[in-house]
Amino acid sequence: MERIDAHPAFRFAVQIDGLPGATFTECTLPALEVEIEEQKEGGYNVGTHLLPGRVRRGTLTLKRGLATGSDLMAWYTQVIQGQLMAARKEVSVTLLDDQGEPVIRWDFHMAFPTKWSGPELSASSTAIAIETLELAYEMVTVS
């Protein structure tokens, strides 16, 4: 039997085309869910047929320490200014092994920001200021 190793979640890389320095402290991959359609059939009284429907895609969430001149906020600003075609980018998330080699890669095609959240600021906290960006996308491929 072939041994299958689990990989830790803290070694990952994010690439966003056209954005320099895409370094993130946290990345939450989206949930993908197939809608189920129930089909009734006359004479079949023990239940219904379950047919797969559309796929609902969650958002990709990226978090990082807030920096001056945030390129993520500028990217989000493109969307709120109506420049949606210019804002669509290819985003890749790669899980790395302990040697830094790729294990699995998720490519999010035609991604664009749908929500930007700034940090929670508190004079009594020593936490780093974190910005969060949620991305929608047209399609995801895994390699």
Interval 56-115: pLDDT, tens? 999 999 998 887 767 888 899 999 999 999 999 999 999 998 888 999 999 999 999 999
pLDDT value of position 73: 83
Residue 85, classed as helix, strand or coil, is helix
Q: Do residues 83 and 60 touch, judged by C-beta distance below 8 A? A: no
10 contacts: CB under 8 Å, gap ≥ 6: none
Q: What is the pTM of this model?
A: 0.84
The identity of residue 48, as a single letter, is T
What residue segments make up the domains of the chain, in order of their start? 12-30+50-142
